[in-house]
Amino acid sequence: MDNYRQLLNTPVGRICVIASETAVTQIYFLQREEQSTFELSNHITELAIQQLYEYFTHQRDTFTFPVYQTGTKFQQQVWAAVQAIPYGEMKSYRDIGTQIENPKAVRAIGQANKKNKLLIVVPCHRVIAHDGSLGGYAYGNEIKQYLLALEGNRMFVDKDS
């Protein structure tokens, strides 16, 4: 059961980390109306918060805390491919389709990304449209641009999307 919750303030909003006794199960940006301060941490949330803090302060580009996310076989394939995109790089939805041997599943890949519950660790912000545009992002393109710029992808800073 996911009984542990810890918050982190970042330059682009508050992140909530939810964990069980053994793994982080959700990482997401709090919506403006969701300003809960309830926190009950454990060693997993504390490790995740520390590593996410290091990510936002340019001290970390990979994560070592345990994660667990449920989904269909297809979603798991997509999330594994997305999680393998190196820090500072981007791939298109089509690239992900080719990688998972399902090149025509571009829209389904977008939907799988939309259901990703492990923000930043499964870096769906690194997936862009084939034409080089941002594509979508559950938390808005301003946050997507920020995360890409944080990782050195400056081509999207100040670009209208």
- 153 — pLDDT class (breaks 50, 70, 90): confident
Lookup: tokens for 62: 């990979």
Q: pLDDT per residue over 48-101, tens digit each?
A: 999 999 999 999 999 999 999 999 999 999 999 999 999 999 999 999 999 999
Q: Identify the CA nearest to 23 among candidates 50, 51, 4.
A: 4
Catalytic residue among 124, 127, 143, 150: 124
Q: Which residue has the higher pLDDT, 35 or 135?
A: 135
Write down the CATH number for the domain with range 73-156.
1.10.10.10
The full set of domain ranges for the chain reads 4-56, 73-156
Q: What is the pLDDT of residue 133?
A: 86
Q: List b or e across 146-160, with b for residues whose CB sees 16 or more CB atoms inside 10 angstroms.
A: bbbebbebeebeeee
The answer to whether residue 16 is catalytic is no
Q: What are the DSSP E strand ranges found in the chain? A: 4-10, 13-19, 24-29, 91-92, 127-128
